[in-house]
Amino acid sequence: MTDRWYRELRQRFRELGADLRPHALELDRDPEAIRAHFDLPAVRYLAAMGVPAEYGHDPEPIAGRPCHGARARERVVIMEELAAADAGMLVAAPGPLLAGVLVGLVADERQRELFYGRMLQRPLWTFFALTEPDRGSDAAGLTTSLRPADDGGYLLTGAKRYVGNACRAQLGVVFARTGPGPLGIVPVLLETPAEGFTAEPLPSIGLRGARISAIELDEVRVPAENVLGRHLSPTRRGMWAFVQTFNLLRPGVAAIGVGMARAAHEYVLAHRRAPSKDERRRIDALGRRIDGARALTERAAEAVDARTSDGHLASAAKLRAGNLAEEAALLACEFFGPAARLEHPLLDKLVRDAKSLEFIEGTTQVQQLNLAQGLVSGKVDGTRRSA
């Protein structure tokens, strides 16, 4: 794809994002309000984003080319533009996103047909359940179990936390353990409702549209054919699968941070009348930092598109953009006085939404570890030696 094509993609999703902003505060009050907006073009696009063409996905052409949203470089443009309009509407939309990327990496043909085919029939929410209440982001230590059942299938037992959209999803991926060690971890495709499966939304102050949920699994039956990657070696389906999935999607989370920072910056430009010379300097400096974070995010996306295991830049981008989103939202409030968050509800929402980026798809500490490993191995500065 050419730079011109990406500029046209950006312009098109900037236009689509304009439909999201008017519903931002409504959704913040009632996360289920998204159900009344399935007809918005941006929501319709997200509902099938990432579904490959061979399953009948035929999105609107951009400058003569269809954009399936399957590449990280495409997603960072789309995510930034829609998050600049409203990140809450973006994360509330149904669609295959995180689970869909994993299915693309490890599912067999029947599983891909089951998953992607259903995405095109009607808007469906999906979920990606990895984090556990006692283990947090330490995925290697997960304890949810998958053990054989009498009928040839499996029984899934355990608990998951902080899972986006799980309480309203019809399809999802759950990581469980069949044995000790990292090779004992497998993902399974789970259709809901299912006996023994419960999911409840957790209270949240930011990105409320995501309906962050807690899941309980009490001997949920899983057909053997729904074990993802069973045709692959153990080294290519468990920890490998979710590491690659996160690497591919973290640039998109970084792009959401860039979009949030831009929303704060643009709000100041639109509503702060006659800024002083010093205020003008601070506003311009914020704009330059946003441009820098965008450049890093786009470079991280290109890196994982070229080699999915090179996720160190994705972690760097998520760290920088997540911090910037929070700083930009707080800085924007400073331009409107001590009562800014009361008098400007969109700014108040931006502050709350931006804080949540610290936890999405790996905490700050996880990103720092990934980046440190990239530095030690020479991946960051290009000194990596060939094997």
Q: Is residue 116 in some structural domain?
A: no
Question: Which residue stretches of the chain have pLDDT < 50?
Answer: 386-387
Looking at the 3D structure of the chain, how many domains does it have? 3
Q: Is residue 339 in some structural domain?
A: yes
Shared domain check, 370 and 244: yes
Shared domain check, 273 and 366: yes
Q: What is the DSSP letter of 69?
A: S
Shared domain check, 212 and 248: no
CA pseudo-torsion sign 315, 318, 245, 191: positive
Q: Is 333 helix (H, G, I), strand (E, B) or coil?
A: helix
- 169, 197, 222: which is the final residue of a domain? 222
**Phi, then psi, of 187 in degrees rounded to 5:** -95, 145
Shared domain check, 260 and 362: yes
- 74, 93, 112: which is the final residue of a domain? 93
Structure tokens that stand for 26 in this block: 């409504």
In this predicted structure, what is the pLDDT of residue 387? 41
Residue 75's domain comprises 4-93
CB atoms under 10 Å from CB of 247, counted, come to 25
Half-sphere exposure of 292 (CA within 13 A, CB side): 11
pLDDT tens digit sequence for 294-352: 999 999 999 999 999 888 999 999 999 999 999 999 999 999 999 999 999 999 999 99
- Cβ partners under 8 Å of residue 84, min gap 6: 14, 17, 259, 260, 262, 263, 266
Shared domain check, 243 and 198: no
CB atoms under 10 Å from CB of 197, counted, come to 19
Structure tokens that stand for 33 in this block: 């309000």
Contact 173, 127 (CB under 8 A): yes
- 37, 68, 93: which is the final residue of a domain? 93
CB atoms under 10 Å from CB of 55, counted, come to 15
Q: Is residue 101 in some structural domain?
A: no
Q: Is residue 334 in some structural domain?
A: yes
Q: Is residue 199 in some structural domain?
A: yes
Q: Between the CA atoms of 161, 163, 167 and 173, what dihedral angle is there, to the nearest 10 degrees?
A: -110
Shared domain check, 297 and 194: no
Helix, strand, coil percentages for the chain (3-state, nearest 5): 55, 15, 30
pLDDT tens digit sequence for 243-289: 899 999 999 999 999 999 999 999 999 999 899 999 999 999 999 99
Shared domain check, 131 and 53: no
